[in-house]
Structure 1
Amino acid sequence: MATAEHCLYCFETLSAYLESRKSMSLGEIEKSYGEYCKEAEARVAPSDKTESLEKRIPALQRVADSDLAEASTSSLPSSGSSMSLTTDTAATSTESLAAITESPLFVTWNTVSSRTGNTSLRGCIGTFEAQELGEGLSSYAVTAAVHDTRFDPISKRELPSLEVAVTLLTDFEDCGDAMDWEVGTHGLRISFAERGRRYGATYLPDVAAEQGWTKEETLVSLMRKAGWAGRRDKWQAVDLKVVRYQGRKKSMLYSEYKQWREWADQKGEDSEEDEDEDEA
């Protein structure tokens, strides 16, 4: 499933892009974040370790919560996704999630209101073609932030207000009919043709549940998203091809990324000072 490290990597990639600097690699972040968690844990007494860790590292609580929830519904409307041009479906199995190194994926950026805590979609793009995670997350983190044509590009000043969500897609299955899927469990990818024109669109697994839609409302909305302008009560006359899939999602706020990044910067400075002392 998607991890806190994947979210950190998306923030790191976007921050580096907007600041015109070199980004840390996914491998470097995974190593650093492991040390970050261990160092925080080592400073906490065993009796209150769990509670204190959750306070010290908010991402750890989000990891635990997400593991329990799996890919169930989220309270934040975050996944009005856009499809990339590469859309060959990959049959990723949940059996390999523990050591997953590549996957179809989507990166979603949301703006979080500092006053109300409400979120609004700021960009979401992904692909159904399996990506090596180091390359795919980096590429789509930037693409979703600055090339989603529904929105203006995200600017550097917006970073503190952002939340990122990474969804790794799994379990692709052709639906027996348009209703052969479950709200809150499945994402949908539809395709159809009408009057010589081909249409296609997708919603990630949490969209229908977040919006409180029925199956029919979800399908009609998805057809509208694809560009279909037919009468709502005639949607069933369209020959829809529907593929259902599941997603393993992780979310993170910029404040959590900033907390880890400041720690990593300080560790880097301490290491440089130690090296200078050794040379002296």
Structure 2
Amino acid sequence: MASVAHCLFCFEVLAAHLDGRTPMSLAEVQKSWAEYIRSTEPEPAADDAAAATANTKASKRLPALRRVTEASSTSSIASSSASDSTLSLGPDTPATSEEEEDADPSSPPTSPPLTSSPLFVTWNTISPRHGGHASLRGCIGTFEPQPLEEGLSSYALISALQDTRFSPVSARELPALECAVTLLTDFEDAAGAHDWELGTHGLRISFHYHGRRYGATYLPDVAVEQGWTKEETLVSLMRKAGWVGRKDRWAEVELDVVRYQGKKEKVVYGEFKRWREWVEGKGK
């Protein structure tokens, strides 16, 4: 599943790009984040030491994500928000990998750590004047499984700098940003337009209308955040794809629907800044 370290890495990549420096690697971020957490946690009492050790080991046993059941031969890049957008194709990403966690030799054998996944990186602007309201600032991802190191690095920049709905993110905006990473899993062909659950599934639709092919996607949290019903979600998604038909006749369009799930994590800039200052204080 997506982790805080994944979000920190995206912040690190964007901040380094804007500063003109070389970013830390994903493995370095994961290692330093674990050290940072340990440094900020109070020491357990003597009689709690065994339990704390057991909990630490258990926390490392991340559940294996199911292999994505549908992947195209080219990388599908898509933006995901309540705004209109259509699917487009992007270049293949070279195959490399990074281990997500160091193996614990004292732990029982587990499934291999996640090294690649379809993913989306979302940037939001947080407004203190409006109670911390989050406004979309950029969101682009891919349905083609990506090695996490390269996928997160690439889409952290693509979503921040190349989302055509927005101007590129500038350095002065960083303090107001929130980064969310969603790793996509469990792709399934839906039995029909309503064969999915609000808050659980994201949707990827495709359809033909008047000789043209359309397609669009919403991540699992979009419909819930907007307060939409299933029908409202589907109509909005069709509009996002570019459909201009009558709203009351949307059901007459034959939709191919793929449902999927997304394991999401998010981090605000303040958390990134505290961790980064700790890293710099350690001379890393």
TM-score (norm: length of structure 2)? 0.77
Rounded to whole Å, the distance in 1 between the matches of 2:9 and 2:215 is 30
Maintained 8 Å contact 1:87/1:129: no
Alignment correspondent of 1:85: 89
Provide structure 1 residue ranges, at least 5 long, that are not aligned to the other structure.
50-62, 68-78, 89-95, 270-280
Rounded to whole Å, the distance in 1 between the matches of 2:91 and 2:248 is 29
Alignment correspondent of 2:194: 179
* Aligned-partner SS, 1:178: coil
Give the counterpart of 2:161 among 146, 149, 154: 146
* Aligned-partner SS, 1:150: coil
Alignment correspondent of 1:24: 24
Query: How many angstroms does 1:85 deviate by?
Result: 1.9
In the alignment, residue 14 of structure 1 is paired with which amino acid? L
Alignment correspondent of 1:91: none
Rounded to whole Å, the distance in 2 between the matches of 1:242 and 1:109 is 26
Structure 1 segment 87-126 matched on structure 2, within 5 A: 99-115=113-129, 116-126=131-141
Query: How many angstroms does 1:44 deviate by?
Result: 4.3
The size of the alignment, in residue pairs, is: 234
Give the counterpart of 1:259 among 267, 270, 274: 274
Rounded to whole Å, the distance in 2 between the matches of 1:84 and 1:32 is 36
Structure 1 segment 1-16 matched on structure 2, within 5 A: 1-16=1-16
After superposition, the Cα gap between the structure-2 partners of 1:199 and 1:8, relative to the gap in structure 1 and judged at 3 Å, is: same
Maintained 8 Å contact 1:84/1:125: no
* Aligned-partner SS, 2:128: coil
Query: Structure 1, residues 177-215: CA drift from partner, whole Å, max 9, x if none?
Result: 101001111000000111121100000001111111111
Rounded to whole Å, the distance in 2 between the matches of 1:147 and 1:164 is 16
- The ranges of structure 1 where at least 4 consecutive aligned residues each deviate by more than 6 angstroms after the TM superposition are none
Rounded to whole Å, the distance in 1 between the matches of 2:44 and 2:132 is 33
After superposition, the Cα gap between the structure-2 partners of 1:236 and 1:97, relative to the gap in structure 1 and judged at 3 Å, is: farther
RMSD: 2.4
Rounded to whole Å, the distance in 1 between the matches of 2:265 and 2:186 is 17
Query: Within the alignment, does 1:169 sit opposite 2:168 as a pair?
Result: no
Rounded to whole Å, the distance in 2 between the matches of 1:80 and 1:194 is 22
Alignment correspondent of 2:95: none
* Aligned-partner SS, 2:243: coil
Query: How many angstroms does 1:45 deviate by?
Result: 5.6
Query: How many angstroms does 1:36 deviate by?
Result: 1.0
Query: How many angstroms does 1:234 deviate by?
Result: 0.9
After superposition, the Cα gap between the structure-2 partners of 1:250 and 1:97, relative to the gap in structure 1 and judged at 3 Å, is: farther
Query: Structure 1, residues 76-110: CA drift from partner, whole Å, max 9, x if none?
Result: xxx6176552499xxxxxxx987111000000000
Rounded to whole Å, the distance in 2 between the matches of 1:129 and 1:252 is 24
Alignment correspondent of 2:54: none
Rounded to whole Å, the distance in 2 between the matches of 1:238 and 1:206 is 25
